[in-house]
Each structure stands twice: as C-alpha cells, then as structure tokens.
Amino acid sequence: MPADLASWATLGGLVLGYALGSIPFGLILTRFAGLGDVRAIGSGNIGATNVLRTGRKGLAAATLLGDALKGTAAVLIARNLGEGPALAAGLGAFLGHCFPVWLGFRGGKGVATFIGVLLAFSPPALGIFALIWLGLAFALKYSSLAALVASAATPLALWVLGVPAQAVLFLLMGVLLWWKHAPNIRRLASGTEGRIGQKG
C-alpha cells in the first residue's frame, strides 16, 4: 500500500474506532430501561460499575459487554485495511469511550473497552489480564486495583509474546486508563476505596 494511502487508512481506522468507541451503552441502556440519566447517580460515570448502582445487574452486564465489543469490532473491521489501521482503531475506540464528543468528552474509565481491544489483538494476553484481575480481585476485593495492575502488566505480556507495536498501544492506553482512575488511586491510598461486594 502506498504511503499516502496507508496514512489515510490509518486515519480512517482512528475515526472508525472513535465513532464506535463513543457509543455510550451505559447511558443508552439505562434510559431505555426507564432509569433516567445514569450520570445523575453514584460516580456519574457511564460505565458498567456505575450502571450496577441502579441495582440492575443485567443492565450492568449488557453495558460491560457493549463497551468491550465496540472495541473488538473496531479493531476487527479496521484490520481489513492492515495492522496500522487496526492499531489506530483500537486507540480510537478507547479514546471514544473515555472522551466521547457527544457527552462533552466526559466518558467512562476505559477498562471494558481496553479488554475488548485486547480480545481482538491477543486472546493469550487477555488470558493473562484475566488471571491477574481475578487473582487480585479475589485476594484483595478491590476491582479498581485489580484492573490497574492487570492493565500495567498487559504491555509487558504483549512484548514477551512478540508483538511490540501492540505493546506500545496498550502502554499508551494503560497510561490513560490510570489517569482516568486517579480518584480510585487516591481512595486506595487513603483506604476509602469500596471493596467488591461492599454495601453502601
């Protein structure tokens, strides 16, 4: 593919990814369910964790699935144009979820979309992510801490698996994910972060 055409394909992947990633499933599903604006409850976030605060586990699961699969879909569609556009689409989907233009660039924290993009690129690395998350979540009961550590380990796992370009992508996404979790990190440091299964 000529260089100029490859550049346009990469830009197209980024735009496609952003468009898909910016679909706010949490907001859409809670509104269709007659629960109003999910941004008005809990943390004000549009992700599955905040949707769960409505008491509707099914809606939370659907939100998690939608937020993950939009990342997977973006990468798989863009991959038809090459690896560069696929990488751009993965980044675009993550950015779209975290900073959707339709919601004033105030979106989710990115964990589900991170997982969905990882599924499209490397199921083995996703398995490593899942093992780390499950182990820490079971042992320490902190979902946010488990996600932070698992996301930090993902670039290293991809590097070991021999896909450095993907490792760089997930390093960048991981930095943004940690930045979006700054309030959680402060609560973890102060001992006030909610644990899995904790009431109130």
Q: How many domains does the chain have?
A: 2
Q: What is the DSSP string of 83-128?
A: HHHHHHHHHHHHHHHHS-GGGTT----SHHHHHHHHHHH-HHHHHH
The length of the chain, given as a count of residues: 200
Q: Count Cβ atoms below 10 Å from residue 171 Cβ, excluding itself.
A: 16
Contact status, residue 20 vs residue 69, Cβ threshold 8 Å: no
Q: Are 41 and 35 in contact (CB under 8 A)?
A: no
Question: 96 and 158: one domain?
Answer: no
The pTM is what? 0.94
Q: Give residue 2's pLDDT.
A: 63
pLDDT digits (tens, 9 = 90+) for 149-177: 999 999 999 999 999 999 999 999 999 99
User: Which of 116, 134, 160 is the last residue before a domain boundary?
Assistant: 116
Same domain, 47 and 97: yes
Average pLDDT rounded to a whole number, residues 174-197: 93
13 and 66 inside one domain: yes
Judge whether residue 106 has pLDDT over 70: yes
Tell which of 116, 141, 158 closes a domain: 116
Across all residues in the chain, what is the average pLDDT? 93
17, 87: one domain: yes
**What is the DSSP code string of 4-23?**
HHHHHHHHHHHHHHHHHHT-
How do residues 9-30 score in pLDDT, each as one tens digit? Answer: 999 999 999 999 999 999 999 9
Task: State whether 95 and 49 are in the same domain.
Answer: yes
Task: Write down which residue in 61, 86, 116 finishes a domain.
Answer: 116
Residues 70 and 107 in one domain: yes
Do 58 and 126 lie in one domain? The reply is no
Please give the residue range of the domain that contains residue 76.
Answer: 1-116
Q: Is the pLDDT of residue 35 over 90?
A: no
Do residue 142 and residue 195 come from a single domain?
A: yes
Within this chain, do residues 103 and 152 fall inside the same structural domain, yes or no? no
Model confidence at 200, pLDDT cuts 50, 70, 90, reads very low
Look at the block and give the residue holding tokens 């006030």: 192
Residue in 176, 57, 56, 185 with CA at minimum distance from that of residue 108: 176
Say yes or no: 2 and 101 in one domain.
yes
Tell me the mean pLDDT in the region 102-127.
96
Q: Could you report the per-residue pLDDT of 68-105, keeping only the tens digit for each?
A: 999 999 999 999 999 999 999 999 999 999 999 999 99
